[in-house]
């Protein structure tokens, strides 16, 4: 199996060293991208599907594909033989060259200026996400799984895996109290289970073995050089995550809630401003680095566009870094590319102490994003921590329906 895992890297390196001058022609069609995060273990490479094309105006574009999600990359350029590509919404960047039928370069998860890049390779014409995994599946992993992360360890936690399998292709997501892993795609090859996702914030891979008794065992997860864990899973059709009110709640006697934070032009925005008085207000504790925040922001932008003329207001409190100027560059990019038009404010660094001081009305296990819905009188009527986005299917639609009904009821009061 290990030999198979090395096939792609060897093929790519071989193409890099083939005879003749390298041709920097990024040709149209399908490509397989691979991020080599763990240089010592090729079984934890993170593959993803790409499609390069030239649009009707003659401008080159790339689509990054994860299951049902297609991410359109429009920010591209060239620096000599090097092609530059920036993922939308976030600050992640690719820098690479074309070597015959291969791409070779570096992926910078937080942008090139901050360094800490991962080796990036690409192979032309490959549509299989895990091309080294070609065995017929021994079973079907479709369904609902109770996933125990770091079993037997002090930091052990429970997640839920929801997967669909068609022949050997597996899609789905992994849900936790803090949010979901968004759109994942992979395979069951023989008994080997593999899923990955690359969206500009997440760079994740899950691997495991489907045992003879139908369990997923020897599971490993990798999201970065420091974000890794082990896991195991068993089928469980009835498992649910804790409800939001079990995780976070309003402190007794802490209301009313307010804040006073700057926007990108330096103006201080407060919940006491006339703009918010007598209005239904959604306050989101968010961050431009957070993929679940991206999904929530897109939804809240829809709510704001639909209900703002009826009295709904939305404001995002962005927890970033201590560098205010750099933070606003990321915030403004995030805001523009999610299509949100409501205020985004700088809430300082995302450390727990700062977060708790600004969200002083809340207690419990807060995650990003956390939203607070306030009625016209200033009373908090709902708190929700974490976010299960559109990649989770019914969980997302249930949240949308529930929140829509709450907003409409509060607007009618």
CATH code given to domain 2-124? 2.40.128
In angstroms, what CA-CA distances link 243 with 23, 162, 170, 383, 390?
Answer: 55, 18, 28, 11, 18
The per-residue pLDDT string of the chain (413 residues; one tens digit each, 9 = 90 and over) reads 443 444 454 344 444 444 444 456 899 999 999 999 998 887 899 999 999 998 888 888 999 999 999 999 999 999 899 999 999 999 999 999 999 889 999 999 999 998 899 999 999 999 999 999 999 999 999 999 999 999 999 999 999 999 999 999 999 999 999 999 999 999 999 999 999 999 999 999 999 999 999 999 999 999 999 999 999 999 999 999 988 888 999 999 999 999 999 999 999 999 999 999 999 999 999 999 999 999 999 999 999 999 999 999 999 999 999 999 999 999 999 999 999 999 999 999 999 999 999 999 999 999 999 999 999 999 999 999 999 999 999 999 999 999 999 999 999 99
d(CA 140, CA 129): 18
Q: Quick one: pLDDT at residue 25? A: 82
Specify the pairing of strand 179-180 against strand 157-166.
unpaired
Q: Quick one: pLDDT at residue 56? A: 87
Q: Quick one: pLDDT at residue 1? A: 41
Which region holds residue 29: left if phi is over 0, alpha if psi is between -120 and 50, else beta? left
Return phi, psi of residue 367, to 5°.
-125, 170
| 2-124 and 143-235 in the same fold | yes
Q: Quick one: pLDDT at residue 320? A: 97
Superfamily holding 143-235: Quinohemoprotein amine dehydrogenase alpha subunit, domain 2 (2.40.128.120)
Q: Quick one: pLDDT at residue 405? A: 98
Q: Quick one: pLDDT at residue 23? A: 56
Domain boundaries, the chain: 2-124, 143-235, 244-412
Q: Are residues 196 and 47 in contact, defined by beta-carbon separation less than 8 angstroms?
A: yes
CATH classification number, 244-412, choose in 3.40.50.720, 3.90.1260.10, 3.40.30.10, 1.10.3720.10: 3.40.30.10
Dihedral (C-alpha) 402, 407, 409, 412: value to the nearest 10 degrees? -160
């Amino acid at each position: 199996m290990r030999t198979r895992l090395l096939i792609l890297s060897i093929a790519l390196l071989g193409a890099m060293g083939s005879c003749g001058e390298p041709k920097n022609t990024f040709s149209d069609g399908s490509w397989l991208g691979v991020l080599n995060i763990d240089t010592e273990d090729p079984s934890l490479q993170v593959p993803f599907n790409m499609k390069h094309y030239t649009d009707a105006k003659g401008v080159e574009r790339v689509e990054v594909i994860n299951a049902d999600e297609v991410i359109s990359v429009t920010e591209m350029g060239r620096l000599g033989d090097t092609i530059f590509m920036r993922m939308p919404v976030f600050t992640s960047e690719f820098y690479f060259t074309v070597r015959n039928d291969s791409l070779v370069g570096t992926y910078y998860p937080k942008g090139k200026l901050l360094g800490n890049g991962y080796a990036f390779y690409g192979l032309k014409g490959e549509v299989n996400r895990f091309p080294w995994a070609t065995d017929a599946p021994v079973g079907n992993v479709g369904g609902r799984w109770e996933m125990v992360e770091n079993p037997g360890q002090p930091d052990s936690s429970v997640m839920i895996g929801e997967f669909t399998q068609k022949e050997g292709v597996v899609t789905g997501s992994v849900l936790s109290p803090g949010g979901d892993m968004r759109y994942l795609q992979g395979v069951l090859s023989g008994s080997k289970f593999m899923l990955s996702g690359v969206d500009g914030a997440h760079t994740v891979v899950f691997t495991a073995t489907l045992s003879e008794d139908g369990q997923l065992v020897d599971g490993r997860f990798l999201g970065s050089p420091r974000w890794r864990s082990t896991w195991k899973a068993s089928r469980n059709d009835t498992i649910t995550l804790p409800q939001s009110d079990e995780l976070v709640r309003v402190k007794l006697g802490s209301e009313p809630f307010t804040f006073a934070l700057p926007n990108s032009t330096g103006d201080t925005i407060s919940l006491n401003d006339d703009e918010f008085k007598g209005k239904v207000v959604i306050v989101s504790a968010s961050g431009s680095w957070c993929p679940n925040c991206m999904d929530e922001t897109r939804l809240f932008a829809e709510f704001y566009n639909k209900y703002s003329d009826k009295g709904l207001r939305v404001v995002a409190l962005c927890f970033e870094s201590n560098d205010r100027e750099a933070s606003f560059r990321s915030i403004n990019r995030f805001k523009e590319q999610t299509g949100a038009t409501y205020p985004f404010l700088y809430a300082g660094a995302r450390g727990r102490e700062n977060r708790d001081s600004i969200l002083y009305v809340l207690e419990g296990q807060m995650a990003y994003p956390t939203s607070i819905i306030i009625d016209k009188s200033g009373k908090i009527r709902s708190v929700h921590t974490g976010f299960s986005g559109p990649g989770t299917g019914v969980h997302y639609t249930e949240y949308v329906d529930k929140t829509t009904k709450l907003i409409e009821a509060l607007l009618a009061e």
